[in-house]
Amino acid sequence: MTDQIQKRLCYWNAWELLEAYANKTVSPVDVMKDILRQIAEHNPTYNCVCHLEDEQVLLQKAEESAKRYETGTQKGKLDGIPITIKDLMYVRGMPTKSGSMLPITPPDHEFQTPSVCRVLEENAIIVGKVTTSDYGWKAITECKRTGITRNPYDANRITGGSSGGSACAVALGFGPLSLGTDAGGSVRIPAGFCGVSAIKPTIGIIPHAPASVFGTLSTVGAFARDARDVGILMDVVAKQSDEDWFSVYPGRRDTLMPDPYSSLSQDHNVAGLHVAVSLNLGGYVRYVHPEIIDAIKNAAKIFEQLGCIVTYVDETGDLDLSEFEIYKTYKALWLGAAAQIVHGKMETYKMSETEIANTVDPGMYHIAKLGEKYAATDVLAGEHTRSKLGIKMNKFSKKYDLILCPNCTIPPFEVKHEVPENVAEIATGPGKKGWDEAEDLQRFWCWTPFSYLFNMTRQPGATVPCGLFKQGTPIGMQVVGAMFREDLVMKACNAFQKVTKHHLVTPLPNGP
């Protein structure tokens, strides 16, 4: 176990807590009390918990867990481990607000998200629900329902989104684990901005239900403070479910071996892996902040020292994506999904056009109206582009085991904005098919090209911290593998964190 001197219990990792619980040196009750204290002190400022379970209920569950450990009858891989859940996912006994001013799904709903079922089966304790944007439509975490979620390193800056509540909660010590969703970077962007570790797995690895309107762009993802904990959570939630038709296939890793993801934390040997380093996705990305470029290059040197064969593929042409209409395709799919959300809610709640326009996020309503202009042929053409792009990446993965690239193009900017002040200078999009300057300079997809590409290809992508900006906020790097190769992605992240300390930084005192 790591040196715990001066380290608040709320900052302990899940793997550390599990060891301490088993050794009877730490009680789940003391951990829960410290987390509740941390939430009371800091949630009013950073605003990431939008529903907190009753304190007495949480303490009772912690006490029940403590008794099991005392008697040697602990049960489950997460017994007594606190976890938070993004408020787009369903937890029985808790309301689901979805970041929206539309009617709240009451606590007595019957359906429960499959990954939520899995963590409860392993005796995790759900502390509460964490914030999102209105139905997760944008890459910042703010909405009329719950307000602004602020970066734990600088409360005047964004967390990213839409799973910013998850990333912020983990960073602040509101629980070592969290579950979020990702259809265009919603797990990886806030993980990078908040300095935590996370993974967006291949579509279907973690079952996603109810089915997302963003279709196969979207999946559930796992957050933690280090890659080892991400693996522990993946062992639990990466299970087949009949509620998600993409999760049913033969040869699932979880059916072939026990603890397939957490076991990788014990194997740090990445020597011989072919790692493709990309700083601009073969020229697709227009701008990357210089401090990000330096951090990725430094990370690449570490992988070289670990024995990887590193190639800068932007220079070789291996990652040339110019033949694909990526920008146009992603916009068409995203705007079409927004239109589906708005029309679906109008039908569900029997609302008029005026009523829905006055209720949902104005930006989401605006892009939904743009999405109405697309025909079915546009969406089908977009899916065809995705298939060709996926084939390209399948072949690329025969030569390279992993891609190492930036998590985002820029540092987190000031809250109350969807794009940075210098957006015209940094936007990816000008000159590409589908670019609309008046519209796109207002929207997140002009500064998030490193994330949405891998939603389009369905590949697993993990984010781990690799440095700090001069402004004091974290820099995240992304590690991407071929579809269904979460094992290599997680192995690389664990190896990197074995020899670096970026993941040990915390935004508030008394962290690691």
Dist. CA 392–CA 454, nearest whole Å: 12
- Residues contacting residue 99 through CB under 8 Å, at least 6 positions apart: 87, 88, 131, 132, 133, 134, 135, 136, 143, 145, 146, 162
Q: Is the pLDDT of residue 511 over 70?
A: no
Instruction: State the average pLDDT over residues 436-460.
Output: 98
How many Å is the maximal CA-CA distance in the chain?
66
Cβ atoms 194, 152 nearer than 8 A: yes
Q: Is the pLDDT of residue 5 over 90?
A: no
Closest of 394, 391, 399, 393 to residue 311, by C-alpha: 399
Dist. CA 145–CA 155, nearest whole Å: 19
Look up tokens 């891998």; give the residue: 454
Tokens representing 201 are 């797995």
> What would you report as the CA-atom Rg of the chain, rounded to the nearest whole angstrom?
21
Instruction: State the average pLDDT over residues 250-254.
Output: 77
- Residues contacting residue 441 through CB under 8 Å, at least 6 positions apart: 419, 423, 424, 427
First to last CA, the chain: 12
The strand pairing partners of 364, in sequence order, are none
Task: Give the least confident one: 171-185, 234-248, 271-285, 293-307.
Answer: 234-248
Look up tokens 């209105």; give the residue: 134
CA dihedral 275, 278, 281, 285 (to 10 degrees): 160
Instruction: State the average pLDDT over residues 78-107.
Output: 97
Q: Is the pLDDT of residue 80 over 90?
A: yes
Residue 80 has phi, psi (to 5 degrees) of 80, 5
Q: Is the pLDDT of residue 256 over 80?
A: no
- Is the full-model pTM beyond 0.95? yes
Q: Give the three-class secondary structure for 389.
A: helix
E strand or H helix at 147: strand 147-148
Dist. CA 130–CA 11, nearest whole Å: 18
Dist. CA 207–CA 241, nearest whole Å: 6
Residue-level pLDDT at 3? 45
Residue-level pLDDT at 398? 98
Dist. CA 136–CA 139, nearest whole Å: 8
Dist. CA 187–CA 181, nearest whole Å: 6
pLDDT in tens, 350-398: 999 999 999 999 999 999 999 999 999 999 999 999 999 999 999 999 9
Closest of 321, 501, 307 to residue 405, by C-alpha: 321
Q: How many CA atoms lie within 13 A of 313 on its CB side?
A: 25
Look up tokens 């590690």; give the residue: 479
Residue-level pLDDT at 248? 77
Q: Is the pLDDT of residue 97 over 70?
A: yes
Instruction: State the average pLDDT over residues 190-196.
Output: 98
